[in-house]
Amino acid sequence: MESWMQNSNGVFIDIHEELRGYSNVIRFLRIVEEKEGLLQYCNGNNSRGRLLFQIFSTEFIQSIADIITNAKGPILEVMAGDGKLGEFLGSRVDKEIIATDSKNYTYDIQYPDWILEYDAMQALDDFDPSVVILCWEPLYSDVGDRIAKSGHPLIWIGDPNRCAPKSGLLDREHIRMNSKYAIGRYDSIINKLYNTDIYLFNIDMKN
């Protein structure tokens, strides 16, 4: 165990306190999984009580930044939750990122004031973004599918078995990034089981 991994009370740190490199993140999560389980950690058993869905690293964020870097116009994040994805991305791209969420308080998420309170489809109408980002849409949602159907470029992040699995989204034409940096709350670092990825809709990677 490395000293940075726990606070002075012996509690595992919140890995989203700051953006860390993938090798640190994966070493940390392996120890978390050995000691208490990844899901328990992601369900708030960490120094800030943070709920985690996708676990970010510098490399993962950079791969999203690379996709949006040439976008002309604002980037809209819907269902942004605690805003960490937008915050980390904002530090790596010189783009306006509008982060929105309906702030559904059935989730134990601390929504920062700067996250705009918006239903996802309403935000799409109001901001007419050049790219939409959606990370971990809920189980029974069809928002990702509706956005893809609308023709807007969509970067969808999540676990297809946990995030709107019945919406039909992945029946639509898409590019799967096969990101080696994607880590989700139901994964196992010890068993090398990774279920999440980045999926692109209405985005041509050749341009």
Which of 12, 28, 41, 53 lies at the binding interface for ligand SAM (CB under 6 A)? Answer: 53
CB closer to ligand SAM out of 173 and 181: 181
For 6-36, letters b (16+ CB in 10 Å) and e give beeeeebbbbbeebbebeebebbbeebbeee
Q: Is residue 124 at the binding interface for ligand SAM, with CB under 6 A as the rule?
A: no
Q: What CA–CA distance (Å, rounded) separates 175 from 198?
A: 8
CB closer to ligand SAM out of 38 and 80: 80
Name the packing angle between helices 22-35 and 58-68 (round to 10°).
Answer: 130
CB closer to ligand SAM out of 55 and 93: 55
Q: Is residue 138 at the binding interface for ligand SAM, with CB under 6 A as the rule?
A: yes
Residues in 64-83 at the binding interface with ligand SAM, rule: CB under 6 A = 78-81
Residues in contact with ligand SAM by CB under 6 A are: 53-54, 78-81, 101-104, 107, 109, 119-120, 135-136, 138, 141, 143
